[in-house]
Structure 1
Amino acid sequence: MTTASTSAPFPSRRSFPFVTWIRSRQLARWYDRHLQRLDLAEIDDHLLRDLGLAPEDVRRECAKSFWQA
């Protein structure tokens, strides 16, 4: 007769809230990045020069997908 293993094959259920928290943080980070790129796209060339950014740099940044850093 074999006995059941003491270690579970899957993570404990207690880890689920942590995983959910990590995923919600990632989604919030992606959404924030998306909003920042929308704001950056609206800045005029004069203010971009004041910030030390070239319009081409802004176009390149705004062309990235929301998950790309």
Structure 2
Amino acid sequence: MTARTAPNAVSASRFGRLPFPFVTLRRLRLRLLARWYDRHLQRLDLAEIDEHLLGDLGLTPEDVRRECAKSFWQA
């Protein structure tokens, strides 16, 4: 009995592996996108915290407004 492979696996092996810099750039892009998405979610969560808990964190509503007004790529 012979093993079968998916057609995509055969065609993908024809091209071989990508050179090192391209793999590294792909990983960096994915990490950057993940960081931006995480930052976006954190700001959404921060916007939902009530004033009593903000006081416990040492933040004012103005601090929260300023942070939530930033774009997702801004630290």
Does structure 1 residue 41 correspond to structure 2 residue 41? no
Q: Deviations over 1:6-60 (max 9, x none)?
A: xxxxxx8321110000000000000000000000000000000011000000000
Q: What amino acid sits opposite 1:47 in the alignment? A: L
Paired residues, what number?
Answer: 58
Structure 2, unaligned stretches of length 5 or more? 1-17
Name 1:67's counterpart in structure 2. Answer: 73
- TM-score when normalising by structure 1: 0.80
Question: For structure 1, which runs of at least 5 residues remain unmatched after alignment?
Answer: 1-11
Letter in 2 for 1:33: R
Q: Distance in 2 between matches of 1:25 and 1:15?
A: 15
What is residue 37 of structure 2 aligned with on the other side? Answer: 31
Question: Partners in 1 of 2:33 and 2:73 — Cα distance?
Answer: 9
User: Percent identical across equivalent pairs?
Assistant: 74
